[in-house]
Amino acid sequence: MRRALRTMMLAAAFAGLLTAQASALEYSVDPPANALSARPTSQEVVRQEQAVNVDRSKDAALIPPGFGTPTSYLPQSGEPLTPNLVPGGLDGGWTSAVGSGAETPSAGSSAAAGSSEVIITYPKLEPGGPSVTTGFTAVTSGLYYANGSLGTLDIPTLGLRVKIYEGTGSAALAKGAGHFTGTSIWAGNVSLAGHNRGVTNHFGKIHTLNIGDTITLTTKLGARTYAVTSVSKVKETDTSGTAAASDNQITLYTCVRNESAYRWCVKGTEV
């Protein structure tokens, strides 16, 4: 009987101990008011998808500032590697072109000391400005070849030889280079367009042309060779390259890859 009583007392004590321990786990400690605490060791990583239409080519590249200069530690600081190709650089209504060092810069031009290239800016002509004598040859039925083309364009540097067709619509550009309707086909400024990608990407590499590279236009009126004078990126709305000219020129247009608001524009003058 005594043993049973002792067993019951031990069981009751053990049960009480278990209850005390269980209740001891259910507590919370509030920090004292105005207490200093360390920063949390966990850090939430915020991930943001990069924009797709961001130009990461050499067109947007920067020449870093010199070591130890006041701006050397600032992000996105430095001079543009190709100032005339910087996205958005033409939003002010100016067209920048890369010319040879032999040219004389016009007003608003800039040139780096000792550089072999000159960055020349040309303001758009204002209404009522001085008039100049322009050359112009209209497209007539007698200028078409039997195959429906108006002539041939040759760019030896690119290994390009392509037929020229009237118009810049999809039908013309599917066959070759397109001639801007209403512009000259021989005298003055001859303006042509072409695709930069796809099967008929005839003008896909015109932006790689260098100053002095030759372009030959052959029509029923003869053959004429031009030397490249500028390669520039212009806004889609800038049609100044198709304007009539007093001297014999050629202007080539094509799209800029992944930049629908811009066009590559190559200009050449007769040699």
Query: Do 77 and 150 belong to one domain?
Result: no
* Residue-wise pLDDT tens digits, 188-201: 999 999 999 888 89
Query: Do 151 and 66 belong to one domain?
Result: no
Q: Can you read off the two tokens belonging to residue 97?
A: 């072109």
Mean pLDDT for the chain overall: 76
Of 53 and 251, the one with more pLDDT: 251
Question: What pTM was computed for the model?
Answer: 0.54
In a domain, 1, yes or no: no
| Per-residue model confidence (pLDDT) at position 72 | 66
Q: Is pLDDT at 145 greater than 80 in this prediction? A: yes
Query: Do 119 and 220 belong to one domain?
Result: no
Query: Do 118 and 173 belong to one domain?
Result: no
CA 10: distance to chain centroid? 86
Query: Do 88 and 186 belong to one domain?
Result: no
Handedness of CA 205, 206, 210, 212 (dihedral sign): positive
* Residue-wise pLDDT tens digits, 220-268: 999 999 999 999 999 988 888 898 898 999 999 999 988 889 999 999 9
Query: Do 146 and 258 belong to one domain?
Result: yes
| Per-residue model confidence (pLDDT) at position 33 | 63
In a domain, 94, yes or no: yes
CATH number of the domain that residue 167 is part of: 2.40.260.10
Percent of the chain surpassing pLDDT 70: 61
Query: Do 109 and 219 belong to one domain?
Result: no
Tally Cβ neighbours within 10 Å of residue 182.
10
| Per-residue model confidence (pLDDT) at position 93 | 38
Domain containing 117 equals 58-123
In a domain, 33, yes or no: no
Q: Among 55, 89, 51, which residue's Cα sits nearest to residue 257? A: 55
Of 123, 151, 180, the domain-final residue: 123
- C-alpha span between 164 and 153 (Å, rounded): 7
| Per-residue model confidence (pLDDT) at position 31 | 62
Of 26 and 107, the one with more pLDDT: 26
* Residue-wise pLDDT tens digits, 115-133: 333 333 334 445 555 555 6
